[in-house]
Amino acid sequence: MASNSSSNSNGDAPSLEVAIVGGGIIGVMMALGLHRRGIKAVIYERAPSWHEVSAGFAFTGAGREYMQRLDPGILEVLSRISQKTDASTSNSYWDAYHPRTRQDAEDESKALLFRTPNNKLLFWGCVRSQFLLGMVALLPDGAVRFGKQLVSYDDDDESAKVILHFEDGSTAEAHALLGCDGIHSTTRKVLLGADHPASRPGYTHIAAYRTMVPIDVGIAALGEKVADSGCMHCGPDACLMSYPVMGGTLLNVAVFAHDPLEFPDPDKMTAPAERGEIERLFRGWSPHLADIAKLYPEKLVKWGIFDMDQDPPPTYARGRVCIVGDAAHASTPFLGVGACTGVEDALVLCTVLESVQQKTSDGDTEDDSVRQALQAYSRARLERGRWVHRSSREVGQMYQWRYGPTGRDTERIKRKLERASQTIVNYDILAPLVV
C-alpha cells in the first residue's frame, strides 16, 4: 500500500490507510464508501479476477438508503439492474404439500397461507455477479490486488499498523484491516484463534438446490403467481423460494431441504448432486412441486447452508482488525437480509473511520483512535448480527414446518414474520454507536 505520505481527497493531511480482505459484494461496497470519504482503501482478493456466483439476492428499502449514504453510485448500479417491488405488491406463502391437483395448488382459497405486503421491506432483487461488476466499475485505479490469499497478520503497536502476510510471500500494511472475506474468513480465524469455536461456521442441516430459468418456464411450472413477486412454498422438511430477477426476465428458484447428515465438504460448502434427489424430496407433494425437478439438469450442485449461529463470535474487532458481513454474522437466506446486514456494517464502519480520518486531518495522531473506532463498531453491531442469524435460522425451520413455537399454525407463522419485518426496518443502525 501507499506510504504515510499519501493524502486524503483534500490533499492537506495524511490519509488513513485501510486494507480490505475480500473482494465480494460487501468488500467492494466498503471500499467505495471509504474512498468517498477520502480514505485510502485497497482490496486484497485471493482470486485471480473478479468472481461472484450468478445467484439472486435482494435488498430492502432500508438497505438501499444505506447504500445511498455510502456512495450514491452503488444505488444507481442496483437501480439499473434490479427487479423492483413497491408498496402495492406482496410476498405470498403457499401450502405446497396438501393440494392434490395443480388447479387446487393455484387456487388462493385452497393453497394460499397468507401474504405479507412489501410496503415495509420493499425488496429489489438482482443477480449477484451483475451487481458486483457494476460496483467494480466505480472503483478508482489501484484499488484492488488479485491473487492475495491472507495467511496471517501482525498488529504492530510500534508502527501503529497491521502487517498482512499473504500466501505468495508478499506483505502489505495499513492502519486498519477489515475482514470482508466471507463465511470461511481467515481474518476471523486469526482474530479469534484457529481453535476458537467461532473460527468455523456451523452446518444448519439444510441443503439448497439453486437454479434460474426464463420467467415463462417458471410460470409454466409454478403458476402466474411467481411472475411479479416473491413466493415461498412450504411443506414438511423442505420449502421452495422463488422471485423474479433481471427485470422480470428470469425466475430465481431455490429448493431448501432438511438434511439430517453432516455435509460432505464443510470447507467447500458444495457437493455434487443429481436431479433424482429433488424428485425424491417432493414425492407426495402437490403436483407442481412434485414436477419441479424438471427445471434442473440431471447433474447439478447442491449447497450446504452454513451460518454463525451455533458459535457466534464474542466480538467483531480486536486491535486494529475487525470482521465484516458474512465473516462476522453469516446467516441463512430465509430472513432475506444477510446482504443488507453487511451494508449496515459498511455504513457504521465508514462512519467511525471517517471520524478517525477527521481527527488525523485535525492533527490528532492518537495511536488508539483506530482501535477505539473498531471497538465502537463491534459494540454497535454485535447484538444486531446475532439477532439476524438467529432469526433467519428460525424462519427457515418455520418454512419447513420444523419450528416448535409455530408448527404448522398459519397465524403464528404470519405473526412471527411480521415481528421480524418490524425489527428489520425499525432499527436505527447508528443509534447504538458511541465513538
Strand ranges, E, within 100-221: 112-117, 124-127, 144-146, 150-156, 161-166, 171-174, 176-179, 202-214
* Mean pLDDT, all residues of the chain: 92
Please compute the mean of the pLDDT values over residues 415-421 and round it to a whole number. Answer: 93
Q: pLDDT tens digits for 332-383?
A: 999 989 999 999 999 999 999 999 998 877 666 566 899 999 999 999 999 9
Q: pLDDT tens digits for 197-237?
A: 999 999 999 999 999 999 999 999 999 888 878 899 999 99
Rounded to whole angstroms, the Cα distance separating 101 from 36 reads 56
Rounded to whole angstroms, the Cα distance separating 45 from 52 reads 12
Give the percent of the chain with pLDDT over 90.
79
Q: In the predicted model, is pLDDT for residue 11 greater than 60?
A: no
Which pLDDT band holds residue 6 (cuts at 50, 70, 90)?
very low
Which pLDDT band holds residue 5 (cuts at 50, 70, 90)?
very low
**Range with lowest mean pLDDT among 64-68, 363-367, 425-429:** 363-367
Give the residue, 81 or 399, on which the prediction is more confident. Answer: 399
Quote the cell numbers at residue 9.
481527497
User: For residue 13, with 0-12 CB atoms within 10 Å meaning exposed, 13-18 middle and 19 or more buried, which class applies?
Assistant: middle
Rounded-to-10 torsion of CA 36, 66, 144, 306: 160
Please compute the mean of the pLDDT values over residues 296-311 and round it to a whole number. Answer: 96
Rounded to whole angstroms, the Cα distance separating 317 from 181 reads 14
What is residue 84's predicted lDDT score, i.e. its pLDDT? 82
Q: Give me the residues paired with residue 308 across strands.
A: none
* Residue where the block lists cell 464508501: 33
The rounded radius of gyration (Å) of the Cα atoms in the chain is 22
What is residue 365's predicted lDDT score, i.e. its pLDDT? 53
Rounded to whole angstroms, the Cα distance separating 85 from 58 reads 10
Q: In the predicted model, is pLDDT for residue 124 greater than 50?
A: yes
Quote the cell numbers at residue 404.
416448535
b/e 40-66 (16+ beta carbons within 10 angstroms → b): bbbbbbbeeebebeebbbbbbbbbbeb
Q: In the predicted model, is pLDDT for residue 432 greater than 60?
A: yes
Give the percent of the chain with pLDDT over 70.
94
Q: pLDDT tens digits for 80-99?
A: 988 887 777 788 999 999 99
Which are the catalytic amino acids? 210
Lateral strand order in the sheet of 238-245: 112-117, 90-95, 231-235, 238-245, 250-258, 202-214, 299-307, 270-274
Q: In the predicted model, is pLDDT for residue 163 greater than 60?
A: yes
End-to-end CA distance of the chain, in Å? 27
